[in-house]
Structures are given as structure tokens and as C-alpha cells.
Amino acid sequence: MSKSKIRFGWSRYTGVASSIKDMSRDSSSNNLDKFSKGLPIGLGRSYGDSGLNGTGISWSSKKLKKINVNPNTGIAICESGVTIGELEREALRFGYFPPTVPGTEFVTIGGAFASNIHGKSHHVYGSFADNVISIVLRNSKGQDFRLAPDDDSSEKFWATAGGMGLTGFIISVEIKLIKVESSYFSVEEKRVANLTEIIATILDFDEKFAYSVAWIDCSGNFIGRGLVLGGNHASKEALPEEIAKKPYQIDSPKIYSLPRFIPDGIINRVSIRLFNEMWFRKKTKSGYVNYQPFLHPLDFISNWNRIYGKKGFIEYQFQIPFGSEDFLAHVLLKMKEYNAYSFLTVLKKFGQSDNPYLSFPTAGWTLSVDIPGSTKNLLQLLEELDNLLVEKTGKIYLTKDVRMSSESFRRMYPDFKKWNKIRLQMEPNNYWESEQSGRLGI
């Protein structure tokens, strides 16, 4: 039974009325194409409108929750409704861990593949799809197909990785895990004074750590001062004695909620500047930290996105190639010029990637900036940045996008035509559609 309700992207910047229907495990019971249009959905953690569909049925993966980890091979088979956190905890029970996870555990496995997510470990382990052995994809006729990166279905596999759910409904994913000796990370954090230092420190940390990330102070002088954090999976013998007695701490995280109603105006120039100053001055981390606060630091608050008020926020996340680091400084200066403030600004380095079509991670840098939707002339600022980003051969992350133009999209993703040709082979009736795909003309 489908039901209609207003759904928002995670940034709460835009929402639509959606009719939702649960996808069943049995393909024979699904006659999808009797509906006008469809879109696979998970937990709604896509920031913009890529997970919204106001014209047809949103097919939910919430009932597809089977997970199996082979303790001998380290291979997990997960149905698409399994979350990253559920996979992490099940894998740790056998001494394994997924090599690529995002900044939140509340992302489904199907959504992780459809967005081809990246994490703090891209320079070592690549994107999510780089560690996937195969997927089972359901088309609009209710037929299931196995796709893999190393056989004659590879083009369809890679068109689905990062394809934003527009090639079919992912039923399950077979993924390679890595062996770990504990649930802890050995971490080091360093305070740096400016953007030049932050880039140099990330490059240094990437030689020492499998996981690295930087937070940048986007207030005050906008010079790029911040904190760089690195970490490695900790071996059991390296752990302090009191931790080594129980090296796998895999309890579900304790979650708190903000009040349902939060008055507008809490996020403003003063509060953001105060937070940035306090965060920059905090004691730096060193030693051993369990995986949850290291990999998913905001997950202890279930609805932190509500703090931005009724107008939500826009997360502007882009990638630029090596050699274009001047664009990072340009973004900070333009934010200062427009009085656009952010307390969540993250910089990471991408390693090499051969992923074609619509996947986001490409060798270079990625910066994500959360800007309140109430910021004056915000869309004008982002349009100016888009124009220069295109010249730098950079691109915007589709999972975070909510306002990019179709012209910018085609210039940022030059393999779009190749992807679309494969997509139409898979779905000639163009059944799968989102608000984003309509906006971008996909």
C-alpha cells in the first residue's frame, strides 16, 4: 500500500509530496511499470532533491534488511535497506570492517552504491563501488539482474554506481571487507594556521594514515585555518591494557534528538563565529578512539539538520583536480565577500579513480561547505562559484546538489551522454526519475 507524505532532502532546503511503496524481496510480486514514474529511496540522507520524487512512486528499501558476513572470506552480502552502521557492527563481530564509509552510519547500502559514496579513506581504499563484487539490480519490469565490474555487465555496473537510482532498484550488494583487530582507531590531530598549511598537513597525513580529514574555520578572516585529523585501524597489541581486554566495542550508538521546533535565527554570524573559535581552540585528539565518534561524529544527534530552521541549508560540495588549489582559497574569499558562514566545512583528498560516468570521486580535492538557506544572495554566490568550477574542470557532488543548472551539469560531467546511452539500454521507457533528474534534464 502506498502512502503520500511530504519528504525533504536532508538539508531541508526543498521538499515534495511523495507516494511511498515498500519494495518486496520477491520480484514476481512487483509490477513496477504500471506506475508512471519511480525512484528508489533509502533513509533520506541525500542532501538535495536526488532522493525526491513528486511525480510517481518512491520505492522504499526499508524491508530489505538481510545481511550475511562470511567469516572465512570477509565478503558480506547485504540487501539494500541495510545501513552502513548495521554492516559495520555485523562485520566487527567477525573481525572485519567495510573499507569505505561516509560521515554518517545512517545511509543504506543501496544508497551508498547509487551515490558511490566516498569517505576519509578514499586515498587508500577508493570509493564504495571500488570494493563491490556484484549487485542485484531490479528493472521496471520487475526483473532482477546480476551486475559486476569484471564481466560483460561492467558498463551497466558502473552506470549504476553513482547513477543516483536512475538505472534501477538495487536489491542487494556483495562487498569485500577488510580485516581489523579492533573497533578502535589510533588517531592524531593537528592545529594549522592557514590553507597552505592545511593542504601540506593532509598530504603528510595521507602518507601515515588510511583515514584523514580536515575541518576548516569558515568565519573571521576565512584564511583556511583549521584542524587535520588522521587515523588508522588499531591493532590489538597496540591498545592500552584496559581497552585490549575488549577490543571490539560494537554497541549501537546512543542517539539524542533536538526539539522538533527550533526557532529561526539560532544559526547566525555570531553563533557560527563563536562555534568556529571554540572548535579551533579545543584540545586536539591523540590516542585511541572507537570507530563511531571518529567516523560518524554527528550521529549522536539524530536530527542535527533541524538546527538551521525553516529554510534549511545548502551543502556545496565540489571536487577540483590537483593543481587547482587556488580555487579553494577563492571559495573562502567569496564566502567572506557574501557574508556566507559555515560551521561545518570539510576538506579531503581523493586518490586515483577510474570510475566513469556520474561518479563523483576523482583525483584531487573535495571541499564541502554547509551554508544556511537564509543567507542573502546565496544562489548568486553559488552560481558564480559554479562558473569558475567548470573552468577548473571540477564538479559538484550530485548527492549534495539542490540547485545546479543543467548546463553546468553537462559541462561538469562530460561522460553524461555515454551514461545516458547505457541507461536507456537498461530502461528504454525512462521509468526512474527524481526531482533532480528533471531539473538537470537527465
* Mean pLDDT computed over 10-38: 83
Residues 224 and 294 in one domain: yes
Distance of CA 242 to the CA centre of its chain: 34
The band of 277, judged by pLDDT with boundaries at 50, 70 and 90, is: confident
* Mean pLDDT computed over 268-292: 88
Domain that holds residue 392: 184-411
On whether residue 188 sits in a domain, the answer given is: yes
The CA–CA distances, whole Å, from 251 to 90, 181, 225, 290 equal: 11, 17, 35, 11
On whether residue 14 sits in a domain, the answer given is: no
Phi-psi region of 66 (alpha: psi -120 to 50; beta: other; left: phi over 0): beta
What's the CA gap between 253 and 269, in Å, rounded? 32
Mean pLDDT of the chain: 93
* Mean pLDDT computed over 257-281: 79
What's the CA gap between 340 and 360, in Å, rounded? 25
pLDDT tens digits, 94-106: 999 999 999 999 9
Q: Could you tell me how many helices (H) and strands (E) the chain has, helices first?
A: 13, 19
**E strand map for 234-378:** 286-290, 313-320, 345-350, 364-372
Residues 233 and 310 in one domain: yes
The band of 239, judged by pLDDT with boundaries at 50, 70 and 90, is: very high
Instruction: Indicate which CATH number applies to the domain containing 279.
Output: 3.40.462
On whether residue 80 sits in a domain, the answer given is: yes
Q: Give the pairing type, strands 96-97 and 286-290.
A: unpaired
Higher-pLDDT residue of 266, 329: 329
Residue 270 has a pLDDT of: 83
Q: Give CB contacts under 8 A, 24+ apart, made by 67-75.
A: 69/93, 69/94, 69/96, 69/177, 71/95, 74/176, 74/177, 74/178, 74/179, 75/133, 75/174, 75/175, 75/176, 75/177
On whether residue 442 sits in a domain, the answer given is: no
Rounded to two decimals, the pTM is 0.95
Residues 194 and 134 in one domain: no
What's the CA gap between 128 and 102, in Å, rounded? 9
Residues 317 and 367 in one domain: yes
The CA–CA distances, whole Å, from 301 to 269, 371, 388 equal: 23, 19, 36
Residues 225 and 137 in one domain: no
C-alpha cell at 317: 560540495
Instruction: Indicate which CATH number applies to the domain containing 129.
Output: 3.30.465.10
Of the listed ranges 128-142, 296-310, 374-388, 413-427, the one predicted with least confidence: 296-310
What's the CA gap between 87 and 361, in Å, rounded? 22
3 pLDDT exceeds 70? no
- SS3 string, 211-246, reads EEEEEECECCCCCCCEEEEEEEECCHHHCCHHHHCC
User: For the chain, what's the residue count?
Assistant: 442
pLDDT tens digits, 167-197: 999 999 999 999 999 999 999 999 999 999 9
Residues 343 and 365 in one domain: yes
DSSP state of 24: P
Of the listed ranges 90-94, 115-119, 309-313, 420-424, the one predicted with least confidence: 309-313
Sheet holding 132-138, edge to edge: 67-70, 75-79, 169-176, 132-138, 144-147
* Mean pLDDT computed over 358-380: 95
* Mean pLDDT computed over 46-54: 94
Residues 203 and 117 in one domain: no
Higher-pLDDT residue of 34, 44: 44
Residues 126 and 211 in one domain: no
260 pLDDT exceeds 80? no
Residue 1 has a pLDDT of: 45
pLDDT tens digits, 331-349: 999 999 999 999 889 999 9
Residue 2 has a pLDDT of: 58
